[in-house]
């Protein structure tokens, strides 16, 4: 029996869907599913949900529930992580403080000042998890879904020997969206996608072997399609390649859409996928989910179980590495050692990876088009400085990482950035034990 551990199993929707996917593979149908969460009530609901899936599918799997991750990790073959480090209140400050300075952030979980401080809080926790894996299950494959993806993976892959990669559903999700726009069945679409997390681009996108980019460009003439993803569609029309992550996220990763109120109104109030384009919408939705999760769980327990396998990568990767060995290619987050020629060596990139019994093997892509390399280089180098700051406890590195963030530098002076960063350090003080002083 294989043992697969879910750290952050209280992320109930994800846990439910991934366990469902895992058990559809015959080689994993008798797995031990070990659930870990610090919230005992949510953990209990997660266990009941998994038990229902096992019963509905008639699987020989078993489920365990733990508040102690070491007991769960002992002897594990696979690990999945979906944690949130820090409280909702500190997340709000990550976004509210920059907004007071004029840096209007939409989601704030990936990069920029809010993503960087989220990384500072989360990197120590992820490294602790990796050290436990090294001790209790050193051969395990570790799949991370926690953001900020690139900075966390960069830290884990440089500081530990764990086989770890980061996964994001935006690659296959956006490919399906583009296929829908041009009327193509998903199974007839092939692509090459590479870059950095949330800023990866389809360098090649084909329908039955034919270049589909002319069809995508033609689709932009339809107002309903253009307005569905205004930011990303503007980026495509001007940069010539389509980016993976949603308009809400991408609006804050560059200097073009959120630096002035009129641009926010034009591009970000609608058509970002995060209407009305303000972080308050995200916070409100999160709070509503937090308040209604018990009712949602009760509905799940009353509804019939859907046993149809989904499209998330994790179950396919586990089947390839610890299951029946069926090869699986996916886009994963790994360090750039000869993978993308014109991004910094050692930074975290998102490239095709082959999963097999041999493990995880990243695939060389080559050089990005110059305009894409220029954009992603800035973000990658900011992430490198932020990770170094997190690992060394150097607030000056953090300040420099924020200085060159495209949106921040489009709005603020250097002195204003320093003041903002110092204020964010103070707001995060209790979560940052690696920093001996908190002024940049």
Short-list 81, 6, 8, 22, CA closest to 54: 22
Residue 327: both structure tokens together: 């090869």
Residue 45 CA, distance from chain mean position? 24
Among the listed residues 66, 169, 222, 238, the single catalytic one is 169
Give the Cα separation of 395 and 402 in Å (integer): 11
Helical axes 370-392 vs 112-136, angle rounded to 10°: 60
Q: Where are the beta strands (DSSP E) in 227-358?
A: 328-335, 348-356
Give the Cα separation of 1 and 31 in Å (integer): 5
Work out the number of other CB atoms within 10 angstroms of the CB of residue 156.
25
| Dihedral, CA of residue 91, residue 158, residue 36 and residue 10, to nearest 10 | 30
Residue 45: both structure tokens together: 């609901």
Is 169 an annotated catalytic residue? yes
Please list the residues that pair with 330 across neighbouring strands.
353
Distances (CA, A) of 121 to 216, 387, 422: 40, 11, 15
Give the Cα separation of 191 and 184 in Å (integer): 13
**What Rg value do the Cα atoms of the chain yield, rounded?**
21
Instruction: Give DSSP secondary structure letters for 176-227.
Output: HHHHHHHT--GGGEEEEEEEETTEEEEEEEEETTEE-HHHHHHHTTSHHHHH
Whether 201 and 242 have beta carbons less than 8 Å apart is answered as yes
- Residue 243 is given by DSSP the state B
Q: Given the structure tokens 């997340």, which residue do they identify?
A: 91
Q: Given the structure tokens 């998330």, which residue do they identify?
A: 312
Provide long-range contacts, Cβ within 8 A and 24+ apart, for 42-48. 42/9, 42/10, 42/12, 42/293, 43/9, 43/10, 43/67, 45/12, 45/293, 45/294, 45/297, 46/6, 46/9, 46/10, 46/12, 46/15, 46/16, 48/297, 48/301
Kind of pairing between the strands at 348-356 and 359-362: antiparallel
CB environment 172-207: b (16+ within 10 A), e (fewer)? bebbebbbebbebeeeebebbbbbbbbbbbbbebbb
- Residue 144 is given by DSSP the state E
| Residues annotated as part of the active site | 169
């Amino acid at each position: 029996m294989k043992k697969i551990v879910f750290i952050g199993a209280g992320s109930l929707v994800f846990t439910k869907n991934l366990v469902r996917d895992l058990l559809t593979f015959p080689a994993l149908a008798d797995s031990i599913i070990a659930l870990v969460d610090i919230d005992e009530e949510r953990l209990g609901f997660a266990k009941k949900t998994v038990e229902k899936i096992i019963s509905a599918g008639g699987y020989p799997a078993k489920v365990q529930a733990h508040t102690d991750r070491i007991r769960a990790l002992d002897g594990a073959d696979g690990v999945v992580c979906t944690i949130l480090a820090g409280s909702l209140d500190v997340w709000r400050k990550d976004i509210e403080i920059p907004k007071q300075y004029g840096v209007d952030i939409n989601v704030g979980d990936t990069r920029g000042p809010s993503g960087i401080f989220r990384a500072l809080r989360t990197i120590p926790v992820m490294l602790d998890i990796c050290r436990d894996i090294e001790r209790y299950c050193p051969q395990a494959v570790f799949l991370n879904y926690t953001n900020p993806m690139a900075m966390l993976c960069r830290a884990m892959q440089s500081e530990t020997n764990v086989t770890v990669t980061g996964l994001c559903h935006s690659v296959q999700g956006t490919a399906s969206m583009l296929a829908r726009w041009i009327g193509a069945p998903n199974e007839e679409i092939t692509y090459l996608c590479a870059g950095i997390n949330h800023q990866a681009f389809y360098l090649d996108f084909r329908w039955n072997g034919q270049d589909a980019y002319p069809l995508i460009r033609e689709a932009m003439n339809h107002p309903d399609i253009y307005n569905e993803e205004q930011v990303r569609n503007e980026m495509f029309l001007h940069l010539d390649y389509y980016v993976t992550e949603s308009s809400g996220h991408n609006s804050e990763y560059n200097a073009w859409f959120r630096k002035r109120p009129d641009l926010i109104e034009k591009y970000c109030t609608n058509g970002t996928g995060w209407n009305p384009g303000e972080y308050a919408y995200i916070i409100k939705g999160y709070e509503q989910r937090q308040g209604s999760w018990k009712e949602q769980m009760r509905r799940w327990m009353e509804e019939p179980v859907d046993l149809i396998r989904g499209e998330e990568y994790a179950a396919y990767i586990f089947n390839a590495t610890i299951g029946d060995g069926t090869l699986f290619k996916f886009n994963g987050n790994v360090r750039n050692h000869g993978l993308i020629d014109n991004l910094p060596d050692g930074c975290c990139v998102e490239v095709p990876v082959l999963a097999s019994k041999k493990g995880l093997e990243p695939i060389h892509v080559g050089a990005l088009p110059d305009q894409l390399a220029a954009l992603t280089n800035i973000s990658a180098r900011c992430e490198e400085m932020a990770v170094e700051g997190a690992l060394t406890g150097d607030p000056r590195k953090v300040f420099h990482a924020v200085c060159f963030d495209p949106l921040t530098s489009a709005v603020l002076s250097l002195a204003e950035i320093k003041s903002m960063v110092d204020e964010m350090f103070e707001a995060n003080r209790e979560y940052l034990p690696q920093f001996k002083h908190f002024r940049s």
